[in-house]
Structure 1
Amino acid sequence: MFAKYARRMAKDWFLAGMLGAVGLATLLPDLGASGGTLHADMLGNAGIFLIFFFHGAGISPESMRHGMSRWKLHTMVQLTTFVVFPLLWFGFRFAFDGLVPADLMLGFLYLCALPSTISSSVAMTAIAHGNVPGAIFNATLSSLLGIFLTPVIIALAAGAQGGALSLTDAMINIAGLLFLPFVLGQLARPWLGAFMARHKKKVNTFDKVAILILVYNSFCDSVLGGLWRDHGMDLLALTIGGAALILLVVLVLNTVVARALGFDKPDEIAAVFCGSKKTLASGVPMARLLFGAHPALGVIVLPIMFYHQLQLFVCSIMAERYARTMLQLEREGRDAAAGHAEMREPAAPAAMEAASR
């Protein structure tokens, strides 16, 4: 089974592109640095604007309304995303503060403050035969709330560890480059909605290319700032280990809580997947806005880059297992219904015989 998913990840050009962006930034940092030959920072800002414009044009208000009724599910997912994750970071910092460098610890804080991702949350829920409307509602709501809550969480927690982040500046940047294009996209939806639906794959490809430009620019700036001079392979090992630990804790916690609350299986699936995901598509652009002047921006985005790949790998395995469970439950339900029908069938001839006497 591991070989199967390893082959699937090997075919993922986006993963290869991220590794390539890091490698190219290591070899040619001056080319893609802010103000450099390629002006990657300007391209990145344009990409950020278009990503959120397309997201705004592509999200249907009807899908939001359709999934609103399951309030227990929604409350659990949003609390997990914006309360439980940050609290986990405080525990993570308490346990590993002396082991994890300060810049990487800030990256883990950023990971825990991010909203959920829309596309993979919905896709995994659909594969697992879960509550898809509920997943659409929660993932979309999380993305909207994250525009405002993520900088607040970062400002409060970074202040608690002695960092500095101007909440006012962050909100202005977020409003200008994330929320404004999203609203413009929603306003343009009557004209662009059908086009977005027809070209969803192309829009998704554009999102990934724009993210690769942002990753390349971020790492170019960080390499020039001494990323590999001051850190080695131990930084990558700590990032992978920390991301895997956080993902494991959240998946187990979400499963236990969903079952304790008496969720049916479709709602449990939506809660587990939506409540454990973190967005790379919004995470890298938002990092540029929140930490644009930070010399270690490349280190700060490392946790979400690795967490993104881990969540896809682990959740794809879980989705297929959930799907088998749901199919088994459906078969058992059909068999039970057929059994009840068979028990009722002999009664009809007996009643007819009695009536003819």
Structure 2
Amino acid sequence: MKRPRFIPDNFTLILIGLVVLASVLPVSGDAAVAADWLTNLAIALLFFLHGAKLPTQAVVAGLAHWRLHGLVFACTFLLFPAIGLALRPVLEPAIGPDLYRGMLFLCALPATVQSAIAFTSIARGNVAAAICSAATSSLVGIFVTPLLVLLMLGAAVQSMPLGEAIGKITVQLMVPFLAGQLSRRWIGSWVETNKAWLKYVDQGSIYLVIYTAFSRAVVEGIWNTLPLWQLASLTVACCVLLAVILVMVNFIARRLRFSVEDRITILFAGSKKSLASGVPMAQVLFSGAAMGTLLLPLMLFHQIQLMVCAVLAKRYARRPETP
């Protein structure tokens, strides 16, 4: 049976269930320490598999369409943060400083891979360019996102020197990713053959981070300090951010005279943010109860962007065939 358009997918429903579970049965004490170690190992494995899955040749070949990729990267890593900072006078009073920092963290993340490609395909856009843009954005984000977070959030990031923060990012994210790239010649075909069940490694690492992060937040009293009206305001803020970025990305792509197919690719690759990359990066960059609050905007935005982009993709798909 086909799932109704606005019903969240199973992945999102499990995330919601984990937040509820953490609210009722938070992990704490020695169990929390063990959960943190397990989470860090799962994140290292996640980025190792990402490196093993990403064909370097495809990324290099796809960079030939430099105008399209340059615009997608500009929207992802420049336009998004600029809009997030420009909306500060409106967003910060409405949702509070902690959730606003979560919005800025969201703005610094790379684009999604799977959903950007899927929506581009449904909308009959330039799928080859979407594959290259989304995959390269995920790779570039490992380097760019932590720097953007350090620039925009500063003191909200773990209290460590810049060099130490970059070193931690390198060890936990970049080294496993590069190890995966180097091992592609031996395990690349095996990873491709078994990608159907290896996706559960991706999801499992995200589940672990969400559960441990919200457990810490619950122990510190997040639900005593975060009223329902603030969650409602956050939902509106995510909708506003997505609406602004969709309008601006579409406007810029039209002004630069891209074809319809390329505009579709730019719209879906340049307006979406990756939960799969954001959750592990939050685990590395942030600590304590603050991480639970910082992840709330990303979780909400993730579901909203899926619902809105599904509607847009179907509308584009109904356009007449061009000769």
Task: Report the TM range for the smaller structure's normalisation.
Answer: over 0.9
Is the CA contact (8 Å cut-off) linking 1:63 and 1:137 kept in structure 2? yes
- Aligned partners of 1:226, 1:214: CA distance in 2, in Å? 18
Match for residue 16 of structure 1 among 7, 13, 24 = 13
- Aligned partners of 2:171, 2:28: CA distance in 1, in Å? 23
**1:37 deviation in Å?**
6.0
**1:83 deviation in Å?**
0.8
Aligned residue number for residue 95 of structure 2: 100
Please give the root-mean-square deviation of Cα atoms over the aligned residues, in Å. 1.7
Aligned residue number for residue 202 of structure 2: 207
- Aligned partners of 1:86, 1:35: CA distance in 2, in Å? 38
Q: Which structure's relative contact order is higher, taking Cα pairs within 8 Å and 6+ residues apart? A: 2
Q: Which moved more, 1:138-147 or 1:217-226?
A: 138-147
Aligned residue number for residue 348 of structure 1: none
Aligned residue number for residue 340 of structure 1: none
**1:174 deviation in Å?**
1.3
- Aligned partners of 1:96, 1:106: CA distance in 2, in Å? 10
Deviations 1:128-182 (A, max 9, x none): 22112211221122122211221221222224xx645543232112111111111
- Aligned partners of 1:163, 1:6: CA distance in 2, in Å? 34
- Unaligned regions of 5+ residues in structure 2, if any? none
- Unaligned regions of 5+ residues in structure 1, if any? 334-357
- Aligned partners of 1:312, 1:206: CA distance in 2, in Å? 22
Is the CA contact (8 Å cut-off) linking 1:63 and 1:133 kept in structure 2? no
Aligned residue number for residue 60 of structure 1: 55
Matches for 1:4-43 after TM superposition, within 5 Å: 4-7=4-7, 9=8, 12-29=9-26, 32-33=27-28, 35-36=30-31, 39-43=34-38
Match for residue 216 of structure 1 among 186, 207, 211 = 211
Look up the SS of the partner of 2:203 in the other structure: helix
**1:279 deviation in Å?**
0.7
Matches for 1:1-357 after TM superposition, within 5 Å: 4-7=4-7, 9=8, 12-29=9-26, 32-33=27-28, 35-36=30-31, 39-159=34-154, 163=156, 166-292=161-287, 294-325=288-319, 328-330=320-322, 333=323
- Aligned partners of 2:215, 2:311: CA distance in 1, in Å? 34
Q: Closer, same or farther in 2 for the Cα pair 1:37/1:144, shift >3 Å?
A: closer
- Aligned partners of 2:262, 2:183: CA distance in 1, in Å? 32
Q: Closer, same or farther in 2 for the Cα pair 1:28/1:78, shift >3 Å?
A: same
Instruction: Count matched residues.
Output: 319
Counterpart residue identity of residue 92, structure 1? L
Is the CA contact (8 Å cut-off) linking 2:54 and 2:181 kept in structure 1? yes
**1:99 deviation in Å?**
2.3
What TM-score results when the alignment is normalised by the length of structure 1? Answer: 0.85
Counterpart residue identity of residue 124, structure 2? H
**1:55 deviation in Å?**
0.7
Deviations 1:91-125 (A, max 9, x none): 22122322221111110010001111111111211
- Aligned partners of 1:307, 1:56: CA distance in 2, in Å? 26
Is the CA contact (8 Å cut-off) linking 1:33 and 1:39 kept in structure 2? no
**1:205 deviation in Å?**
2.2
